[in-house]
Structures are given as structure tokens and as C-alpha cells.
Amino acid sequence: MGDVHFFNLNDLSQGIARDLTEELRTRIFRGESVIISVVVKPNKSGAIHNHFERQPGVMLEGDGGRIQDGVEHLVKAGKLWRTPGNASHSFVGGPGGAVILDIFSAPLEEYKKADSGVGN
Amino acid sequence: MGDVHFFNLNDLSQGIARDLTEELRTRIFRGESVIISVVVKPNKSGAIHNHFERQPGVMLEGDGGRIQDGVEHLVKAGKLWRTPGNASHSFVGGPGGAVILDIFSAPLEEYKKADSGVGN
């Protein structure tokens, strides 16, 4: 029965598939933290945006640029970053594209509000 | 200034180093969720334990066995798992050892208690 908690990021049939744009395809694995695996096509990027959830990320494969608070940071496999709540951010895939693990978590203050609608 | 949020998992000088046992070396990257990178030596394991924090994990390199609720699940790079709060768990490194990304988060109920001491 424990298998319900085990997934394979490399199996494209697993997770909840969602195309954020034509350049960003994602699969969502939900838990108490939302974990999202995002694939960014070569030299493509998502829109710069922000939200109050904090969003640490880990670069699993490839390389690219993590744009955060107006600064582009070149990242490659093995890089880990914190994206604070409300920080503007986006990602530009490198020449070989990129696979990113995004982790969403709401700030403590939000969790302390009843019925805030942010429960993951 | 944004560089304070960017880290390299492959740079052993980064993060807070801690040896859990002689077989498990870890580096801790703290944020609103605690993210831990754990290295498990070949054929070695940690003690089976449990705690109320939920602990999703991702296998970054190598292979091994994730023991959870008394069942050993063979995992390799690309595997993602959820470890519910209070589930007993451990890890056994495979023949080539393993590198794991552990993500700790407290359950919502705990975050809703003031001064619970669990803030990450």
C-alpha cells in the first residue's frame, strides 16, 4: 500500500500534467508541500511573475538562467535556490533546455490563518 | 545581493555540514522549508525513526532502498516519494551509494499553533 507515495519523475505518465506555456511543461506531485517538476525548452522562458508562496527550487538537468528580483543567475544541475515570497521570478532555458524541481510552500503566517485557502 | 539565495549542492563547502552517522553525511540548506542533501555510503543505512514533520524526498544520484512503514522500496535517480508525518523511515545505500534531497515541512496543524517551536 505504501507505493501510493512513490513516484518516478522520469515517467511522463506520472503526476498531474500541465502545460504552463508551450515552452514550460510541468507535472505536479501534490503533498503537504507542492512539488513540481518543470521542463523548460531550449532558449525559451516563462513570464516574470510573483506570488506570496515561497518557492525553493533545484536544478536537476541542463542549464539556464534563473531570473529573480531583476537579476539573472546562471544555473546548472546541482544548483539550489530560495525564492522568497513575493520575489519576482522566471526561468530561461539554456541551449540544451532544463529540468527543474520547484517546491512550493506557503509562509508560516499564511498557515496560521484559518481558511486561508493556501493549504497544500 | 540576490546571490544569498543561490547554492551549489555539489560544492561541499556550502550548507551546514552535519554527520548524522558515519554512514550518513548531510548538508542543510535552511529556508521556510528545510532542505537537506544526504549522502549515504554504499550498503550502509541509518536508523529507522519517525517524526511528525512530513518529509518528501527526491533521489538525485545512485540507488538504494527507502524503508517506509516497514516496506523497502527500491529507488534510483529520478524517484520522488512522500513520507507522511509519523511514518517510520530509513534509507539503505545501494552498491554505489546514494545522494538524496530531503525536504522537511511541518504539517499545517503544527503551523497553526503559536510558539510550537517547529518553524523552519
CB neighbours of B23 closer than 8 A, spacing ≥ 6? B40, B41, B44, B45, B46, B93
Q: How far is B21 from chain A (nearest CA, A)?
A: 24
Q: A78 and B107 in contact by Cβ < 8 A?
A: no
Q: Give the model's pLDDT for residue B72.
A: 95
The pLDDT of residue B113: 53
Rounded distance, CA B49 to CA A119, Å?
27
Q: Is residue B104 part of a domain?
A: yes
CA torsion through residues A69, B2, B103, A17, sign: positive
> pTM of the prediction?
0.83
Q: For residue B51, give the nearest of B106, B93, B120 by alpha carbon.
A: B106
Å from A116 to nearest chain B CA?
A: 11
Q: Is residue A19 domain-resident? A: yes
Residue A18 located in a structural domain: yes
User: Is A3 inside a domain boundary?
Assistant: no
Count CA within 13 A, CB hemisphere, residue B52: 10
Q: Is residue B116 part of a domain?
A: no
CATH assignment at residue A45: 2.60.120.10
Per-residue pLDDT tens digits for A37-61: 999 999 999 889 998 888 999 999 9
| Beta-carbon count within 10 A of B95 CB | 9
B41-86 tens-digit pLDDT? 999 998 899 988 889 999 999 999 999 999 999 999 999 999 988 9
**Boundaries of domain holding B48:** 2-111
Task: Please give the tally of structural domains in chain A.
Answer: 1
- Domain for residue A1, yes or no? no
Domain membership flag for residue A68: yes
Set of chain B residues whose Cβ sits within 8 Å of the Cβ of A99: none
Partner residue facing B105 (CB), from A33, A66, A84 = A33
Residue B118 forms part of a structural domain: no
Round to whole Å and give the CA distance between B76 and A8. Answer: 9
